[in-house]
Structure 1
Amino acid sequence: MRWLAVALLFWALPAAAVSCEDVDYLGNSYTVCTVDATQEDLRLFYKDVDGGVIGSFGALEDLPSVGSLAFAMNAGMYHDDRSPVGHYVEGGIETMRVIPNAGPGNFGLLPNGVFCITDTSAQVYETLAYVANAPACRDATQSGPMLVIDGALHPRFLPDSTSRFVRNGVGTSTDGATAVFAISNNSVTFHEFGSFFKDYLAMPNALYFDGKVSRLYSRAQGRSDFGFQLGPMVGVVE
């Protein structure tokens, strides 16, 4: 009856808060983490209670308010002082306004977008749609460019681009119930990364978080990337 004991033990174990897996697609490797936004405690993190920038997964794990960290990722571009480049809301408090106009760098490669989290949903909005709809986000971070907009690839992504970096981003389901985070495990172009969200993950909307500084924490995989000090982060806590 050993099989029965093992089965009962497996049944009694709590379900993982985040499902992460490695995926090979068209010659590139990605790690994909899927979050049930209706059930899991998905949040943004930037500063601690003393006003200091958290900056790393290790420091995030050490916060008393976090408890057990299941997953984390850098979540939006930031300045040299690690302050958000674009719109940022955490716990209902806005610390940076929406930037609706074009600007330098990838952030200004319009259209860009906003990742919005409520207690029971997560959605990626194109920035002007976000401004028009004014969703009630508990947490929000603006980044860019959009990878996928209403099922279409960003119009300025070039199939023959030679710009390659490790990149990360997020896509959301139409109903806002599922957020899918991905990071490339090798350098990829914007076209390759956006196509992965559009064609493989089938995300109707997806947003680029960053490149080169892209980092992932996955407790289930025993992974905690290190390197650059980070600005805003997104994570799931238990």
Structure 2
Amino acid sequence: MSAAFFRSIGGIALALVMAAISVAAHADPKGDSSACTSQLFEGDTFVVCRYRASTSDIRLVSRSMRPTAVDLPGLRTALGREASRVEFAMNGGMFDPNFDPLGLFIASGRAVRPINLGKGGGNFFMLPNGVFWVDARGAPHVSETHAFQTAVRHTVWATQSGPLLVQGGRLNPHVSDNGPSLAVRNGVGVKNGEALFAISNEPVSFGRFARFLRDDLGCPDVLYLDGAVSSLWSPDLGRIDANAELGVYVIVMRKR
């Protein structure tokens, strides 16, 4: 057979391999039975963990509720036998030097900390900020803080953080598409009744992180949870980060 034939076959094979890589990198997280999956966006890798009320339970925990949970390995120990049900856990919002939630925190329907409408420096106070909350049906939501405050609802779980990176499909005006500030970051968006928690594996900009959740995952509203201390516990991935002390956690578990 001619050399041209083999070159043609080789080109087709290469194209098929590249197509397979592209599909895997942009796969919808619903398509995998694992709670957490890895995805590629603009050359950076992210882990996306999903919460569905139909199959999982969610809870928010502060350090004051679990004093020995100084980090994710400490949380695993504090959970005892319940740790076997964990699908994933992450840092779940910003906290003060005493490891108390910096803003609103509701656990099991009880307000542990009030809403914080103060002004200050740092990402939490970059406006608009927002609230991730879960209603009595277990459905997750991301709302701008003032909108959350004025709405009538029964909230079972809630954590306030900031900034709201994406609101109504638009990037926060204080966030550029791909600025110079880089950090390992995590946040949450909601799409079709599912909460999508994402964490970057490498330091990334605010803008790239926000656009990943908006453009690749399709989340119209995205709340930033933190950077630098961002941590993930994923039994599926065999991963439990111990890189920072934490004050607030989100935990997703298999239903009993």
Give TM-score, length-normalised by structure 2.
Answer: 0.80
CA contact (8 A) 2:133 2:156 kept: yes
Which amino acid in the other structure matches residue 73 of structure 2? G
Q: Which residue of 2 aligns with 1:121?
A: 139
Distance 1:172 1:160, change over 3 A: closer
CA contact (8 A) 2:178 2:206 kept: no
Q: Which residue of 2 aligns with 1:196?
A: 212
Determine which structure has the larger helix proportion and give its number.
2
Partner SS for 2:155: coil
| In 2, Cα distance between equivalents of 1:154 and 1:207 | 10
| In 2, Cα distance between equivalents of 1:206 and 1:199 | 11
Partner SS for 2:150: helix
CA contact (8 A) 2:35 2:87 kept: no
Q: Which residue of 2 aligns with 1:225?
A: 241
Could you list the structure 1 runs, at least 4 aligned residues long, displaced by more than 4 angstroms after superposition: none
Q: Which residue of 2 aligns with 1:9?
A: none
Q: Structure 1: which 5+ residue stretches go unaligned?
A: 1-15
CA contact (8 A) 1:17 1:236 kept: no
Residues 1:109 and 2:126 are matched in the alignment: yes
How big is the alpha-carbon RMSD for the aligned residues of Structure 1 and Structure 2? 1.9
Q: Which residue of 1 aligns with 2:11?
A: none
Among residues 28, 31, 49, which one is paired with 1:33 in the alignment? Answer: 49
Bigger Cα displacement from structure 2, 59-68 vs 210-219: 59-68
Distance 1:229 1:19, change over 3 A: same
CA contact (8 A) 1:116 1:122 kept: yes
Q: Of the two, which has the highest radius of gyration?
A: 2
Partner SS for 1:227: coil
Cα offsets for 1:3-53 (capped at 9, x unmatched): xxxxxxxxxxxxx9852111111121111111213331111111466x626
Report the CA distance between 1:126 and its aligned residue. 0.8
Distance 1:101 1:27, change over 3 A: same
Q: Structure 2: which 5+ residue stretches go unaligned?
A: 1-31
Among residues 96, 104, 112, which one is paired with 1:79 in the alignment? Answer: 96
Give TM-score, length-normalised by structure 1.
Answer: 0.86
Which amino acid in the other structure matches residue 161 of structure 2? S
Q: Which residue of 1 aligns with 2:183?
A: 165
Among residues 58, 65, 68, which one is paired with 1:42 in the alignment? Answer: 58
| In 1, Cα distance between equivalents of 2:204 and 2:156 | 32
> What's the % identity of the aligned pairs?
36
Among residues 217, 227, 230, which one is paired with 1:214 in the alignment? Answer: 230
Among residues 72, 87, 92, which one is paired with 2:109 in the alignment? Answer: 92
Matched residue count: 220
| In 2, Cα distance between equivalents of 1:79 and 1:139 | 19
Which amino acid in the other structure matches residue 103 of structure 2? G
Residues 1:152 and 2:202 are matched in the alignment: no
Distance 1:158 1:48, change over 3 A: closer
